[in-house]
Structure 1
Amino acid sequence: MAKQADKKEASQREMTGLERLGLRVSNMINHPVAQIQRWVTIHRLDTDGDREWDEVMDLLSETDGIDMTFNDDGSVTLRWEARTEEEQPVWVDEVAEEPAPF
């Protein structure tokens, strides 16, 4: 019984501020519109702590291919170049199903 309680508690663990901010930034970068225009502006929320914000900004600044612009309003604009053809993901509209062998 104790093991089940530990597993349940671990699965219900609340996300840290760093995890929330990282997830939000990741979702913004990976949004289809951002991927088409190849830029996104990230606004700092009141719930984003100084340490978390600085850590995510440091991580982004160390990432190759991302240009960062720190705006006067405290937001940060990220810009990146289009991937080369070899790096592009392959999109499949339909999966061809083979007929059943019977």
Structure 2
Amino acid sequence: MAKQKKQASDERRVMTGMERLVLRVSSMITHPLAQTQRWVNIHQLDTDTDQDWEELLGTLSETPEIEMTFSENGSVTLRWERDEEQANSLMREENTEAEEEIAPF
């Protein structure tokens, strides 16, 4: 049994640099503050390869809802408009939560 656990842990999949970069940027974009202000400032870390960074920027530039502004320091500001469907969904959730908070008596 112990041998099986060791073998399973040895076979763990290691994330690629691109996967780590995408995960980091996507968590920045989906952060509640970024979602409220509808912009986020991203930057390349020393651990991000130039190839991965350029591929990510290429993918983001192909997304019509995202406006990209490049800074002299190498950072990139991503801006987007609130999706009306998303806004309506958030309003429905807020209304449901408010209804649930009303005392039942």
Give TM-score scaled by structure 1 length: 0.77
Match of 1:87 in 2: 86
Aligned residues: percent identity?
53
Find the residue that maps to 1:35 and give its secondary structure.
helix
Offset at residue 9 of structure 1 (A): 4.2
Match of 1:50 in 2: 50
Structure 2: gaps of 5 or more residues: 101-105
Two-structure CA RMSD over aligned residues (Å):
2.2
Offset at residue 64 of structure 1 (A): 1.7
Task: State how far apart, in whole Å, the 1-side matches of 2:36 and 2:63 are.
Answer: 19
Offset at residue 23 of structure 1 (A): 0.2
Find the residue that maps to 1:87 and give its secondary structure.
helix
Number of matched residues?
92
1:1-80 correspondence to structure 2 within 5 Å: 5=7, 8-10=9-11, 12-80=12-80
Offset at residue 87 of structure 1 (A): 3.2
Give TM-score scaled by structure 2 length: 0.75
